[in-house]
């Protein structure tokens, strides 16, 4: 037997292979390996082989993006395709404050780069800084610093002197947790020079020439960053004794979000370079700190790096847009793009975009405009991009969970465990994204496997959209579910919460009556008098059951029974597997779901013949309104 033919990597199997190999030698044919000192040597050989095989396997795994687990290796692999993982992002707040009682000779006031103010939240203090000086004019001894963006984190600097005698000189910033968007680089011809040149960060070498004052960034070990300069062909080359000053902000990431109470602690100088001792007014917070985030995860790098590489920094296909937008605006949790040809009627030459930011459901109009402006340099002529607001589709579960009472100490504890399991599903990668999918069988399995005491569950699925009513203004509402509805020819397939309209004091609801085809129907308004239904308007719009689409005609809502002007509209899906199509963003709403615990009297032995056991219906009880 050739010793190179074994493929077993388990220690015992390796040991057995070594013994089998030795037995092929006539000297060891009948040798008792277990009762001899040779057994120790075989153990050593097996351990050595096992460890070598393990190390070889790990080295091989770390050589490929799909299997690498060490961040430095993942970063190194994506560096080969020109991808820079997103750094930590400082939470950004917008503030304004006045400055008064300045001297008559003061013409300008300059807020120096560095620490500007401190903010407090949950008994913790956070430092906020600006990465560069901000100068405003002074008039009549007063000035206003208006709409100042301040970044959570400490302002730091690092200097380097270029030494061309060191061909491998590196410019590595010594701090971790740097927000790379705050890096500023200035270069002087020497340390004593008074002339400063500002260098600009770029992420590719397009339109770069030999005199371009640019620098590039790459992540190295321990989440630190290295700065690269031009070589005289692509970008200006640094000369011997050039003095480099690099400033940046180190951040706490998402911990700095939500801060709105600030105290000034910065430095302001006048046009003569003297510190200003004028009276600083109260800081007005225009926007609380937001969009702070941690460094890009390994899983996110694996997903976006090859897609951005495939886009080649041009926006042609929908996948190109999906890869480019997170690199333009890092605070994106999920993004989708689809062509206008997919719409009915089709809109050729257009691509529609929907994006979910990390800390809210919707992008602001300003953010949308900035992203579209940035996309123009990647897009080709003839294709126009347009943002559409996302449609958050909520999934609710009505679940009756049966349990064996012989194995349950506290029913409330068991119910809490079931809810915790569903919360884990709520936060899983299957949901909370465009193109997501709620898998009904997986939800059932998660409930059943929460505890061995659970014998079964009957779970029904509902889907819901929250419509924000525009008050005191006649408005049309297009409500997209993008999932086929289950249709009953009796109507009331759509159920809503209550609201009030102009000219009527009754609490109203929306529901539907299907046409004979059961593919479409009409919507109507109704209210209750006692338990009797009174129809106020027989036709206020149309419903398409196959497309999961409601088109509500001109109604003037004045108030809603739900807070924040919300009208909740629910339906039964035709399939319990729910898909997030186009601009639909899928969420499992565990908080609005109903989890009822029921004793399984058959499994517990209380009624082993099942003569007294009536299982829960698998069909939803018919109601006319959303309860």
pLDDT tens-digit map of 233-289: 999 999 999 999 999 999 999 999 999 999 999 999 999 999 987 788 889 999 999
Residue 557 CA to its chain's centroid (Å): 34
Segments of 222-349 assigned E as strands:
225-229, 243-250, 262-264, 268-270, 279-280, 284-290, 332-339
Quick one: pLDDT at residue 8? 60
Question: Which stretches within 312-439 are classed as H helix?
Answer: 318-328, 365-375, 411-426
Quick one: pLDDT at residue 1? 46
Same domain, 410 and 546: yes
Residues 6+ apart with CB under 8 A from 467: 477, 479, 566, 567, 568, 569
Quick one: pLDDT at residue 57? 84
Quick one: pLDDT at residue 36? 67
> What's the CA gap between 413 and 182, in Å, rounded?
48
CATH number at residue 370: 3.30.300.200
Same domain, 451 and 357: no
> What's the CA gap between 384 and 375, in Å, rounded?
10
Residue 22 confidence class, pLDDT cut points 50, 70, 90: confident
Does the residue 301 lie in any domain? Answer: no
Of 345, 369, 389, the residue at which a domain comes to its end is 389
Does the residue 82 lie in any domain? Answer: no
Give 127-177 pLDDT, tens digit per residue. 999 999 999 999 999 999 999 999 999 999 999 999 999 988 999 999 999
Helix axes 298-311, 318-328, angle to 10 degrees: 120
Does the pLDDT value for residue 5 go beyond 60? no
Residue 49 confidence class, pLDDT cut points 50, 70, 90: confident
Does the residue 451 lie in any domain? Answer: yes
Mean pLDDT along residues 508-535? 96
Same domain, 441 and 507: yes
User: How many distinct helices (H) and strands (E) make up the chain?
Assistant: 8, 35
User: Cβ(600)–Cβ(402) under 8 Å?
Assistant: yes
Quick one: pLDDT at residue 33? 67
Quick one: pLDDT at residue 31? 66
Same domain, 540 and 610: yes
Does the residue 295 lie in any domain? Answer: no
The widest CA-to-CA distance across the chain, in whole angstroms, is 107
> What's the CA gap between 380 and 134, in Å, rounded?
37
Give 461-509 pLDDT, tens digit per residue. 999 999 999 999 999 999 999 999 999 999 999 999 999 999 999 999 9
Tokens 């976006």 — which residue?
304
Does the residue 164 lie in any domain? Answer: yes
> What's the CA gap between 322 and 317, in Å, rounded?
9
Does the residue 406 lie in any domain? Answer: yes
Percentage of the chain lying above the pLDDT 90 cut: 69
Of 41, 61, 81, the residue at which a domain comes to its end is 61
> pTM surpassing 0.75?
no
Joined tokens for residue 83: 């991808």
Same domain, 595 and 504: yes
Same domain, 131 and 220: no
Mean pLDDT along residues 406-426? 95
Does the pLDDT value for residue 362 go beyond 70? yes
Taking CA atoms, 353 is separated from 133, 366, 372, 384, 468, in Å, by 36, 15, 10, 11, 21
Same domain, 243 and 174: yes
Same domain, 487 and 548: yes
Residue 437 CA to its chain's centroid (Å): 16
Taking CA atoms, 624 is separated from 20, 82, 484, 510, 541, in Å, by 76, 57, 20, 9, 18
Does the residue 70 lie in any domain? Answer: no
Helix H or strand E encompassing 342: none
> What's the CA gap between 189 and 191, in Å, rounded?
7
Mean pLDDT along residues 405-412? 93
> What's the CA gap between 539 and 523, in Å, rounded?
6
User: Cβ(578)–Cβ(483) under 8 Å?
Assistant: yes
Same domain, 472 and 516: yes
Pairing label, strands 196-201, 214-219: parallel
Total number of residues shown for the chain: 627
Does the pLDDT value for residue 593 go beyond 70? yes
Q: How many CB atoms lie within 10 A of CB 351?
A: 22
Does the residue 39 lie in any domain? Answer: yes
Same domain, 335 and 444: no
Does the pLDDT value for residue 4 go beyond 80? no
283 lies in which domain range?
A: 92-153+254-290
User: Cβ(274)–Cβ(299) under 8 Å?
Assistant: no
Tokens 């008050």 — which residue?
471
Give 297-334 pLDDT, tens digit per residue. 999 999 889 988 888 888 888 889 998 998 888 888 88
Same domain, 262 and 237: no
Say how many domains are in the chain. 5
User: Cβ(172)–Cβ(218) under 8 Å?
Assistant: no
Same domain, 121 and 243: no
Residue 572 CA to its chain's centroid (Å): 28
Q: What is the mean pLDDT of the chain?
A: 91
């Amino acid at each position: 037997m050739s010793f190179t033919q074994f493929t077993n990597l388990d220690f015992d199997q390796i040991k057995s292979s070594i013994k089998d190999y030795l037995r092929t030698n006539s000297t060891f044919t009948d040798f008792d390996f277990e009762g001899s000192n040779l057994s120790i040597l075989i153990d050593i050989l097996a351990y050595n082989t096992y460890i070598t095989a393990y190390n070889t396997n790990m080295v091989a795994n770390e050589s490929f993006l799909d299997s690498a687990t060490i961040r430095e290796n993942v970063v190194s692999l994506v560096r080969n395709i020109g991808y820079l993982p997103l750094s930590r992002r400082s939470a950004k707040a917008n503030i304004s404050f006045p400055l008064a009682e300045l001297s008559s000779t003061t013409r300008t006031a300059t807020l120096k780069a560095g620490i500007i103010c401190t903010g407090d939240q949950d008994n913790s203090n956070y430092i906020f800084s600006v990465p560069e000086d901000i100068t405003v004019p002074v008039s009549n001894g007063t000035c206003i610093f208006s709409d100042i963006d301040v970044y959570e984190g400490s302002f730091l600097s690092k200097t380097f002197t270029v030494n061309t005698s060191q061909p491998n000189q590196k410019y590595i910033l010594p701090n971790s947790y740097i927000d790379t968007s705050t890096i500023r680089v200035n270069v002087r011809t020497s340390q004593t020079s008074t002339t400063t040149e500002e260098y600009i960060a770029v992420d590719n070498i397009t339109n770069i020439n030999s005199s371009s004052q640019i620098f590039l960034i790459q992540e190295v070990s321990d989440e630190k960053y290295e700065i690269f300069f031009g070589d005289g062909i692509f970008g200006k080359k640094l000369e011997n004794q050039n003095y480099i000053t690099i400033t940046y902000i180190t951040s706490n990431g998402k911990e700095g979000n939500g801060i709105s109470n600030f105290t000034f602690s910065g430095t302001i100088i006048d046009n003569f370079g003297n510190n200003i001792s004028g009276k600083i007014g109260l800081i007005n917070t225009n926007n609380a700190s937001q969009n702070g985030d941690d460094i890009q995860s390994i899983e996110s790098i694996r997903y976006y790096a090859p897609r951005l590489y495939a886009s080649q920094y041009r926006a042609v296909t929908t996948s190109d847009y999906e890869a480019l937008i997170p690199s333009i605006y890092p605070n994106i949790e999920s993004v989708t793009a689809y062509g206008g040809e997919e719409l009915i009627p089709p809109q050729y030459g257009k691509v529609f975009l929907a994006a979910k930011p990390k800390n809210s459901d919707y992008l602001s109009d300003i953010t949308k405009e900035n992203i579209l402006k940035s996309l123009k340099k990647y897009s080709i002529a003839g294709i126009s991009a347009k943002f559409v607001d996302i449609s958050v589709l909520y999934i609710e579960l009505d679940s009756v969970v049966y349990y064996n009472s012989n194995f349950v100490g506290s029913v409330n504890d068991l119910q809490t465990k079931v809810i915790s399991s569903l919360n884990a599903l709520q936060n899983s990668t299957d949901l909370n994204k465009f193109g997501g999918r709620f898998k009904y069988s997986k939800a059932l399995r998660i409930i059943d496997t929460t505890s061995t005491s659970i014998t079964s569950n009957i779970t029904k699925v509902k889907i819901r959209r929250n419509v924000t009513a525009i008050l005191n203004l006649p408005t049309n509402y297009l409500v997209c579910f993008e999932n086929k509805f289950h249709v009953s020819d009796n109507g009331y397939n759509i159920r809503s919460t209550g609201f009030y309209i102009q000219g009527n004091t009754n609490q109203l609801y929306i529901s539907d009556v299907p046409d004979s085809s059961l593919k479409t129907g009409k919507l109507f308004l109704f209210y209750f008098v006692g338990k009797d239904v009174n129809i106020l308007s027989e036709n206020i719009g149309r419903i398409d059951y196959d497309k999961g689409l409601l088109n509500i005609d001109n109604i003037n809502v004045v108030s809603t029974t739900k807070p924040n002007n919300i009208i909740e509209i629910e339906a039964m899906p035709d399939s319990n597997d729910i898909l997030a199509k186009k601009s639909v963003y899928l969420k499992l709403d565990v908080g609005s779901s109903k989890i009822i615990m029921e004793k399984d009297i058959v499994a517990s032995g209380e009624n082993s013949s099942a003569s007294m056991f009536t299982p829960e219906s698998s069909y939803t009880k018919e109601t006319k309104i959303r309860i």
